[in-house]
Structure 1
Amino acid sequence: MDIQNERRRLLGAESGDQDPTGLMSEQDAYLSKVKNRKLYLATLASVLGPMSFGFVLGYSSPAIPELKKISNPHLRLDDDQASWFGSIVTLGAAVGGLLGGWMVEKIGRKLSLMLCALPFVFGFTIIIAAQNVWMFYAGRVLTGLASGVTSLVVPLYISETAHEKVRGLLGSCVQLMVVLGIMGVYLGGLFMDWRWLAICCSIPPTLLMVSMCFMPETPRYLLSKGKRREAENALHFLRGPDAPVEWECTRIEEACEEQGSSFHLSDLRDPGIYKPLMIGVMLMVFQQMTGINAIMFYAETIFKQAHFENSDLASVIIALIQVVFTAIAALIMDKAGRKILLTISGVAMMISTTTFGVYFYLMPKPPSTPSPLDVQSAVGAEPHADLTWLALTSMAIFISGFAIGWGPIPWLIMSEVIPIRVRGFAGAAVVLTNWGMAFVVTKTFQDMMLGLTSAGTFWLFSCMCALNIVFTIFLVPETKGKTLEQIEAIFRGTSGP
């Protein structure tokens, strides 16, 4: 009780608070003194990383149709090369996830984020200067490597700098900036050729490196390395001059001491480690098995198969829908909670993919279909012109459903539930799973469309959405309003600090 009274004195809380345990009153008293302006600034700087890999993800959609028609035979892509151009970035990202897991532990979150800007810029530079298809592949692998590092580091950076009242909002900004990047590159593709588009894609990572120079390292990383003074300085920057950051430092230190400082593979038997790790891995598996990356990589060609003449404009509209609904998710995340949004998201995607499969089932097949991604024929379009609204509506519902739940929340929960001492190892495993599954889905998408038909492929995605609903309801914990230390205590089976 003496320690608790001393904390209350530091926080300036009066005796007789509403919460009889004193825990919530301490948090409320502390958070009432917090100013978020510089925290928002640090978040804005860090999410230039997700915007950069949004540009990487979206780049293939406008670039592939142009590169398949280019006059230079050394740069022209055939169907198989185009498939590799779209999907090889995920292999680089999988390696980047492993590299990022090592980097965040050895050099910290801030420096890892700054350094990942280099392969972004170098990768796009190689694409700009490409003289053959292998240079395209090299550029895509490098930008994928940077994307993998970024997808691990940025959620960790935000979760370790944000406090519990705004962590959902700020954590959702990761996916928001990804879809903003995708929409930006789709828009750019309407007006620029593939080289100028690559030049524009190198701007956000350049700004990322510069802006992060002025941002602090995360307090939790500094405290895990025994650097209390630097951690307090970082917290003063993030919480404002009036917040008694010594209280938050003490709380984090106690949690770090309880966990221990080193991680060994034998620790995977600890439910406080393997349970959040498995939840993070399965969230990424289900996220990719919805088919989102396959759909976004080949957005224009999917619309061509659905007989939309302005397929590039349709892709921009879809990206805009994704931006709007991801922003909505960010705004309501800390009020609605994670589980309810994941469930709503899964239901919306299940219904929309089922309906999209029905549309393709009803659509007459052209007499010759050498590739499901190259169907240009208008044969049979007229009798079913009244059904084109069904395809557009289904795609819009799918994208909006994904954006409100399964887009931002798996990355947010991953950054919330993994204990700090295993964030390098476990974060790498989760990111490797995500990008590995992304490669499998995007690389086999063309084969699935041929083997299962377009309708069968979307019905397969629908079954995966049904499974993720069950997984969400029974196994995903609610993390809304809890500190990272309280979340870790839940998995350890103890009361929070």
Structure 2
Amino acid sequence: MSQDKVSLLRDPAVGVSTSLEGARTYDSVETQPAQEHNIQINSGPRRLPQYVAAITATLSALSAGAVLGWTSPIQNDIEHGQFHNITVNSDQMGWIGSFVTLGGMIMCVPTGFLCDLIGRKKTLLLLIVPFAIGWSLILFAKTIVMLYLGRFFTGMAAGASCVAAPLYTSEISQKEIRGTVGSYFQLMVTIGIFLAYFFGKFLTPMNYTIFCACLPLVFLVTFAFQPETPAYCLSKGLYDDALKSLVRLRGTSHNNEAELAEIEGALKESLENTISMSQTLRKKANLMAFLIAFALMFFQQFSGINAVILYTSDIFTSAGANLDAKTAAIIVGAFQAVATFVSSLVIDKLGRKILLFVSSLVMALSSFILAIFFTLKSRSSIDDDVLNEIGFIPIVSLCVFVVVFSIGLGPIPWMISSEIFTPEIKSVASSAAGTFNWFLAFLVTKFYLQVNEAVGEDSTFYAFSVMSLFSGLFVYWVVPETKGKTVEQVQEELER
């Protein structure tokens, strides 16, 4: 079967290149092409190969989670010069935590273009380069600058995985399991954070760092054998490669030719419907969609989640909890991973809006209770024995905070971006929202410790509580329910 010659135009709506000329015809989709490839069409597609491909691809997210959680277990070791004999102050520690977010921020948009240029699979495999450079700089650091650069490069890899991995998993999965497969990315991030917390307690700082540095290698070895997405192959006119990919992902008993026809038709339709960004922004619905996407990203970050993840151990140490701070961090990480798994099971049943609303309000309450504890500890004459007796409050509050975040304000802002934007602006809008998210994460992680020193931990968590409360009010009054609705239906609601 020969490949058609095509002329390729980039489609910013779906983040791929699509064919205008040389489109294949499918007059006998179920007969001749299937016979040519000896495909027996008598049953549904296999799901196991899709699950395996998605899991191996999102091991990049697990590696990114380890990057995010790396500072928490060894923060005290770093600050006291027990890691490479480099002593750092609170301001420098803030930079060590926040350089990851700067690296992630600059990679959102370029990664989308790279996925179009060389493919989703190759882009994911190339993540090993910034991962390797970053962890090598951290492992062999002689100065604080090398630590900064190491965190920056690992952050670049983490940011790129946020774009490439979800794109890959969405394109290799059939629509019946796309929601489940799509949840793997956030789940793997939380598992990576949990592993960082767990091994950070039992290993020396150097051995712990070596463990984190090896995770991208596990991703590279397991994912290297997976196929490119059929959609990308079709966008480049590589019909035979697209068919081989689909056969590997669905099995030989599936009507792969018919599904390829459907994919190519969707790519062509998306290109034909593309309009300019200026025309798009004249519609009230699209402006409202931008407002919702950016506002949810704002509330997500200023709920304080990144401060909690990066400085969990420090928060428990400051609280004077009886439980070892690293053990408490492991508990928090475990709750986050389990809650994220549970959220993947209920998000399509309960709906986005109710989960966002409840998540925001409970997070506001949890932050408020934690702030009260810090007020009692630092601004009152309460007896130390009493404080020790209520030392469980930080653990309970943060566990509840992480659980409700993981079922609502954590995953849903990313999901809603794909459900409220029209196809012609989805790629650009989602990349812009992602960049904005990483920028806000930088602000929170960089200045969290300094703000704590200036106004106190209680004031910081009072502010996080207020932001979460505002988030709940915004969701209630502005955000539409998107469960079970098409983009057109959501757009009609936003236009009112």
TM superposition score category, shorter chain reference: 0.7 to 0.9
CA drift at 1:279? 3.9
Residue correspondence of structure 1 range 238-249 to structure 2 within 5 A:
238-249=249-260
Within the alignment, does 1:470 sit opposite 2:473 as a pair?
A: yes
Residue correspondence of structure 1 range 469-488 to structure 2 within 5 A:
469-480=472-483, 486-487=486-487
Q: Determine the structure 2 residue equivalent to 1:327.
A: 341
**Structure-2 separation of matches of 1:138 and 1:401:** 34
**Structure-1 separation of matches of 2:312 and 2:50:** 35
**Structure-2 separation of matches of 1:32 and 1:164:** 16
**Structure-2 separation of matches of 1:278 and 1:53:** 28
Q: Determine the structure 1 residue equivalent to 2:226.
A: 215
Deviations 1:135-189 (A, max 9, x none): 1111000000111101111122222222333222222221111111111111111
Contact conserved, 2:107 with 2:156, CA < 8 A, in 1?
A: yes
Q: Determine the structure 2 residue equivalent to 1:251.
A: 262
**Structure-1 separation of matches of 2:42 and 2:370:** 47
Q: Determine the structure 2 residue equivalent to 1:373.
A: none
Contact conserved, 1:109 with 1:157, CA < 8 A, in 2?
A: yes
**Structure-2 separation of matches of 1:104 and 1:219:** 13
**Structure-2 separation of matches of 1:475 and 1:159:** 28
CA drift at 1:474? 4.7
Indicate how the Cα distance of structure 1 residues 235 and 469 shifts in structure 2: closer, same or farther if over 3 A, else same.
farther
Contact conserved, 1:104 with 1:424, CA < 8 A, in 2?
A: no
Residue correspondence of structure 1 range 20-35 to structure 2 within 5 A:
33-35=44-46
Which stretch of structure 1 is more off in the superposition, 392-401 or 236-245?
236-245
Indicate how the Cα distance of structure 1 residues 73 and 105 shifts in structure 2: closer, same or farther if over 3 A, else same.
closer
Which stretch of structure 1 is more off in the superposition, 100-109 or 85-94?
100-109
**Structure-1 separation of matches of 2:95 and 2:161:** 22
Residue correspondence of structure 1 range 271-420 to structure 2 within 5 A:
271=283, 276-309=289-322, 310-365=324-379, 380-415=383-418
**Structure-1 separation of matches of 2:42 and 2:330:** 40
Which stretch of structure 1 is more off in the superposition, 163-172 or 55-64?
163-172
Q: Determine the structure 1 residue equivalent to 2:214.
A: 203
**Structure-2 separation of matches of 1:109 and 1:280:** 24
**Structure-2 separation of matches of 1:334 and 1:455:** 36
Which stretch of structure 1 is more off in the superposition, 224-233 or 261-270?
261-270
Contact conserved, 2:57 with 2:124, CA < 8 A, in 1?
A: yes
Deviations 1:296-322 (A, max 9, x none): 111111111111251111111111111
Q: Determine the structure 1 residue equivalent to 2:70.
A: 59
**Structure-2 separation of matches of 1:256 and 1:269:** 23
Indicate how the Cα distance of structure 1 residues 405 and 72 shifts in structure 2: closer, same or farther if over 3 A, else same.
closer
Indicate how the Cα distance of structure 1 residues 348 and 78 shifts in structure 2: closer, same or farther if over 3 A, else same.
same
Q: Provide the identity percentage.
A: 33
CA drift at 1:104? 1.9
**Structure-2 separation of matches of 1:156 and 1:71:** 40
CA drift at 1:255? 3.1
Structure 1 outlier segments of 4+, above 6 Å: none
Contact conserved, 2:43 with 2:253, CA < 8 A, in 1?
A: no
**Structure-1 separation of matches of 2:276 and 2:42:** 35
Q: Determine the structure 2 residue equivalent to 1:188.
A: 199
CA RMSD of aligned residues (A): 3.1
* TM-score, normalised with respect to structure 2: 0.83
Indicate how the Cα distance of structure 1 residues 323 and 357 shifts in structure 2: closer, same or farther if over 3 A, else same.
same
* TM-score, normalised with respect to structure 1: 0.83
What SS does the aligned partner of 1:165 have?
helix
Unpaired segments ≥5 residues, structure 2: 1-25, 32-40
Unpaired segments ≥5 residues, structure 1: 1-5, 12-29, 368-378
**Structure-2 separation of matches of 1:479 and 1:236:** 33
Q: Determine the structure 2 residue equivalent to 1:375.
A: none
